[in-house]
Structure 1
Amino acid sequence: MSSLTVTDEQVSATPAKVIQPAWVRIMHWTNAVAMILMILSGWQIYNASPLFGFSFPREYTLGGWLGGGLLWHFAAMWLLMINGLAYLVTGFATGRFRKKLLPITPSGVLHDVRAALTFKLGHDDLSVYNYVQRALYAGIILVGVLIVLSGLGMWKPVQLHWLVMLFGDYPTARYVHFFCMAAICAFLVIHVALALLVPKSLRAMIIGR
């Protein structure tokens, strides 16, 4: 009995493993705030000149009118660009991206998708990303780069005409920007759903352990 008590004390005294370092948590939540502000203000801008036959409900937009939406969008843009660039540089410099996101193989992604659909995908070790997570995180980084580049081209189409031409023309850049926004919204829905299904992953992103 005494040996069992000692073992329990030793276990309770063992510090929890740090899964998400402080810089990841700070940049993660900063990016989350910036993305939400950009999405809501972007919907306000979209409503002023819709690409498709629908508009976003006014109560889910930010800015009140086109000018207000643009002000919020540009303010959030700088926050997202600076924080996002710092995240990319730090992620590559520390080797976190290489360790967390690679390798990504089609067979691995298909295997983990099947496991997830049959509720057999394990979440015991939160420090290791499964293939689905790797594909989603790597994909959303690429989408983030595309949405920033297309947005800059739309913001300064004359000064940055070369950037607009990378997408073909201005209307195409708008479509790219819109579909990147839709991809980010879909990612956020999946991301939040997974966090709710695995609460300890959310706890790790808040306190790190």
Structure 2
Amino acid sequence: MNILAIDAAPARARRLHPLAVRVMHWTNAAAMIVLIGSGWGIYNDSVIFHGLHFPVKIGSWAAESLLWHFAAMWVLVLNGGTYLVYGIATGRLRERLLPIRVADVAETVRETLHLKLAHEDLTTYNAVQKILYIVVILAGLAQVVSGLAIWKPVQFSGLADLLGGFQSARLIHFLGMAVIVGFLVVHVALSLLVPRTLWAMLTGGPELPARR
């Protein structure tokens, strides 16, 4: 038998959002919502900006909010870390988020200002979407770093010092939360404006050619 004559199995088509991506996406979303809501409860107990309190929160008091925060923290760190490793290993992050060209950013901004929000091709992100996703990933990493400095300021004293001290770490953590909340608002709004994107994240979306 000539083993060289054996044909390789044909590459299988893949979904835009494989099952693993969908599960991790919705797990991240749930963890973020719990982290934000419980974080507001923690913030209310020791405010950074006087006069700013959050009427909506998770947890009846600060200690309960902390329990929710720690529980969701581990979910997001483990699930979010898995998502990043998966995205890098499979090439998904590079394929979806790169490259970003200045001309593409300018064109997307111009189209947005003219209310041209159509998103006919679900398989590609426009330049602004790519930037937003990269920003929220970086904000998430900043939240982990600043969160460690706040959680264990003695054990991670070097990290706290690097961030400018405990109060500076709290401010960075708060600003990171604000960035993520802003991203979620825009993300949800665009999903409602273009419902096909939401449906794709529920069902897997269109089939794509297999990666070579």
Identity of aligned residues (%): 52
Residue in 2 that maps onto 1:185: 181
Match of 2:18 among 11, 18, 21: 21
Residues 15-74 of structure 1 deviation map (CA, whole Å, 9 limit, x = unaligned)? x9822111111111000000000000000000000000224343x111100100100000
Which has the higher mean CA deviation after the structures are superposed, 99-108 or 143-152? 99-108
TM-score, normalisation: structure 1: 0.88
Residue in 1 that maps onto 2:77: 81
CA distance in 2, matches of 1:35, 1:121: 26
Residue in 2 that maps onto 1:111: 107
Residue in 2 that maps onto 1:130: 126
Residues 98-148 of structure 1 deviation map (CA, whole Å, 9 limit, x = unaligned)? 111001133321220111221235411101111011000011000000011
Which blocks of at least 5 consecutive residues in structure 2 are unaligned? Answer: 1-12, 206-212
CA distance in 2, matches of 1:114, 1:98: 25
Give the total of aligned pairs.
193
Match of 1:146 among 139, 142, 151: 142
Mapping of residues 2-17 of structure 1, within 5 Å: none
Match of 1:95 among 91, 94, 97: 91
Residues 142-198 of structure 1 deviation map (CA, whole Å, 9 limit, x = unaligned)? 000001110111000010112212212111111100000001110000000000000
Which blocks of at least 5 consecutive residues in structure 1 are unaligned? Answer: 1-15
Structure with the higher helix share, 1 or 2: 1
CA distance in 2, matches of 1:69, 1:106: 42
Mapping of residues 46-61 of structure 1, within 5 Å: 46-58=43-55, 60-61=56-57
| Consecutive aligned runs of 4 or more in structure 1 exceeding 4 Å deviation | none
Report 1 or 2 for greater relative contact order, CA contacts < 8 Å, sequence distance ≥ 6. 2
CA distance in 1, matches of 2:45, 2:109: 39
Residue in 1 that maps onto 2:3: none
TM-score, normalisation: structure 2: 0.87
RMSD: 1.4
Match of 2:196 among 200, 203, 208: 200
Residue in 2 that maps onto 1:172: 168
